[in-house]
Structure 1
């Protein structure tokens, strides 16, 4: 029988491929993806522990305390245990509060903050091992990336936050996998998620941005639980007529879900980690400026930056009013690098930074233009020195770090963020753990 290449068949294949991926045996998960998932767990826990005293954290911790409920899962910064759905919400938002977590540039989304909270909370509720939680996470992350590719750049550019929208589907699959949903129950969980997934970029620079991550994690737990209890949904709430993709994307690419690379290599393996506590779209510029000789950096009077146009509406806040908004300002961050202010230390981003007169004056000499020939992970530009000399700089985040170098960098990040506990946490994750150990990853100790 000849293959069916019709549009309808392509759309149907997306859901079937998604369900195939959701049910993949753990033994078939690529070794490289599994290793990166352990690395992401470490980085996510560091970000969560570091953010547990933030104002956003206090608000959500209080909400969890007021509501109470079934003692199922641990929450950053609190004793006791809380319902899995609440723990996923609070932990997702807290871990994204500092905007210091991993990013996948294929679809521009923060994977760990939307999916690990759902997987870890459901893992505790179900008595899963750490290994099972990691497997559920990496499958969910791969689903989120591929759903994001189907939605396409237009979805993000239109104002949707992929961390929350595509991420919710990954969280639903991860939670459903830990519950043990059947293929048809997983179909219903994804269908229910289609009506729950949400998140807008208008929240960037406010507490609403990390809240988006919590919404994704919570929606994942909720829809998986409802499907396990018998709630039904459309046959294809993701790709069907008036489904999520049809209503939220102007130019969906159905073939992107299962195209290249083949499933034998997970797209998740290209995950990138933040070594600077600001929007990941600024990191290529920061690394490029840091690569300049110190004697050159000291003499810079102006910066002419070229970046992918996608970032102009995200990272080009020209007059930030708070320390949080500075994290989305090319001009301020360039000034920080050139003045020797650490961009990797969360403590640098207090609100006084936004009113720093020297940074404000330097920002007037920073110009940012879009260049569609550059990828999301590239930055190029020129610095102008005090004598008018022009020096080029460039960086590409796609160039991978060796695993040993990445581990060393993340351990330095952990030491700055949570103190001396990073080494012990890394070893704890490498050893694995039983169900009774999962809460300790969140609480520490």
Structure 2
């Protein structure tokens, strides 16, 4: 999928509901104790000569916000973010990309401090964070903040899970750091998106390093000044260019952001200094890598509005523009107990963008199948699913799949929005079955349920973890807030 067009689709199709949230003007309380908290006036966006001190404001928020300050909904979404990340990280753990990274780094890794999820190797925390971050992004099946297209969990959770095996932390502290790290990277991303992304930066890497530094620094107990330095050192390590998409380098980016974030926090913890205004200064991060700087996106609503509650999870292992058609096909299949041999034709009314991005009629390999609405609809009817297994080379070439996708017809209709689809399935007995999708499963309007996340998790870990091991790992993730040591998550992800 063209990344510029993908960004356009996500922005126009999924962000309308965010406007009211962005309008919030409240800022975080100065102390975690609500009884003694005082409000701080929300800074303006300033001007080029006098920008607000957003690096300090953000650092103070990170340092002073405790687990008890997080609203219940925010905590819940943090747990769901963790669940989804662990599943995709284990699922990608034996991909060739990870094998090559392990082979390359094994001779140079430091002490065996942290586990690789789904594998038996142990690495030092920075290399473990890097490899787990790579593993979690390989399938492009990870979480997505639709407003910026940042995949939030990869840099943040990869960093703090490795750190929590080196220095044990409670599950509550772990979840608090996760939420604050995600909030940090998303707010910084909001401030420079879309200009920063459009020029060619891979925003998951460039903003993810801030999230990893903030989350790790929170677990380390950094002071406000040290957190300012950690954010400054993170700003000095932007990683990821969109030119890397389609290669192993793409999943390198969140992995490297995770490792670089730990690196920044560790240095800051020993008073390794940086500028106090590395995000907003004239020659700082935002002005150097973007022509847009909206600092209100970073500071407004801190502590009252959480971008992390807008995180979404992919139910299907392919470009999001195909998701409405898959959703429609699966719903009709399940409702009418459809079999491929019953179907005479499948007609889809779709936005022009859908064909532009996913119009491959005769894919030959699994990766091409991810960019074929014809294949996606066919496997959705046949399997009732569209996970990673449905986009294998074997599935693309299966005679039943090939026969059914030849019955899929697309009708371009600009009146149909990119996030919609109008599907009619005509059966051989003459019946016509119709389904219109306004918002597909996995969107902010129709989020995946906990049960659907568990099914996705189990599918990804099949063949890597035993069913009993998978169940234990799922339960450990759900119960993260009750854990005495968050490192149990990584230990539960070891293959038997």
The answer to whether the Cα contact below 8 Å between 2:349 and 2:412 also exists between their aligned partners in 1 is: yes
The separation in 2 between residues aligned to 1:55 and 1:6, in whole angstroms, is 48
Identify if the C-alpha distance between structure 1 residues 66 and 5 changes in structure 2 by more than 3 Å, giving closer, same or farther. Answer: closer
| 8 Å contact from structure 1 (residues 306, 381) kept in 2 | no
Q: Say whether 1:49 aligns with 2:90.
A: yes
Report the CA distance shift for 1:6/1:207 in structure 2 as closer, same or farther (over 3 A): closer
Aligned residue in 1 for 2:19: none
Mean CA deviation greater in 350-359 or 143-152 = 350-359
- TM normalised by structure 2 equals 0.76
Distance 1:151 1:381, change over 3 A: farther
2:437 aligned to 390, 394, 403, which one?
A: 394
- Tell whether the 8 Å contact from 2:130 to 2:158 is kept in structure 1 after alignment: yes
Query: 1:374-393 residue pairs with structure 2 within 5 A?
Result: 378-381=419-422, 393=436
**Alignment deviations for residues 209-230 of structure 1 (CA, whole Å, 9 cap, x no partner):** 2222211111111111122233
Out of 416, 427, 438, the residue aligned to residue 475 of structure 2 is 427
Give me the whole-angstrom Cα distance separating, in 2, the residues matched to 1:131 and 1:155.
34
Q: TM-score, normalised by structure 1?
A: 0.84
Q: Against the structure 1 CA distance between its residues 18 and 356, is the aligned structure 2 distance closer, same or farther, given a 3 Å change threshold?
A: farther
* Distance in 2 (alpha carbons) for counterparts of 1:392 and 1:438: 41
From 213, 217, 220, the counterpart of 1:179: 220
Report the CA distance between 1:360 and its aligned residue.
Answer: 11
Q: CA deviation at 1:251?
A: 2.5
Asked if 1:112 is matched to 2:112, the reply is no
Distance 1:247 1:76 in 2: 36
Q: Distance in 2 between matches of 1:179 and 1:326?
A: 44
Unaligned runs of 5+ in 2: 1-40
Alpha-carbon distance change, 422 to 407 in structure 1, aligned in 2, over 3 angstroms:
farther
Structure 1 unpaired stretches of 5+? none
Residue aligning to 1:282:
322
Alignment correspondent of 2:455: 412
Structure 1 partner of 2:184: 143
Determine the structure 2 residue equivalent to 1:349. 391
Tell me the distance in 2 between the aligned counterparts of 1:5 and 1:163. 24
Q: Is residue 324 of structure 2 the alignment partner of residue 273 of structure 1?
A: no
User: Could you list the per-position Cα deviations for residues 357-382 of structure 1 after superposition, in whole angstroms to 9, with x for gaps in the alignment?
Assistant: 838974995467888x958xx33445
CA distance in 2, matches of 1:301, 1:435: 48
Moved more, 353-362 or 264-273: 353-362
| Candidates 306, 311, 317, aligned match of 2:351 | 306
Distance in structure 1 (CA, Å) of the matches to 2:209 and 2:472: 31
Aligned residue pairs total 435
What are the Cα deviations for residues 117-175 of structure 1, in whole angstroms up to 9, with x where unaligned? 00111122222223222211110001111111111223233333222122121111111
- Deviation at residue 277 of structure 1 after TM alignment: 2.0
Q: Matched residues in 2 for 1:325 and 1:226: separation?
A: 44
Q: Deviations over 1:257-301 (max 9, x none)?
A: 2335x6324221122122222234432342244334656993444
Task: Determine the C-alpha separation between the residues in 2 that align with 1:55 and 1:36.
Answer: 31
Aligned to 1:6: 46
Relative to structure 1, the CA distance from residue 265 to residue 115 in structure 2 (aligned partners, 3 Å threshold; closer, same or farther) is same
**Which residue is 2:282 aligned to?**
241
Given that residues 114 and 213 in structure 1 are in contact (C-alpha distance below 8 angstroms), is that contact kept between their aligned partners in structure 2?
yes
Instruction: Please say if 1:201 is aligned against 2:247.
Output: no
Query: Which protein shows a greater Rg?
Result: 2
Q: Choose the corresponding residue for 1:92, options 105, 124, 133.
A: 133
What CA distance in whole angstroms lies between the structure 1 residues aligned with 2:326 and 2:305? 30
- Distance in 1, matches of 2:298 and 2:132, equals 28
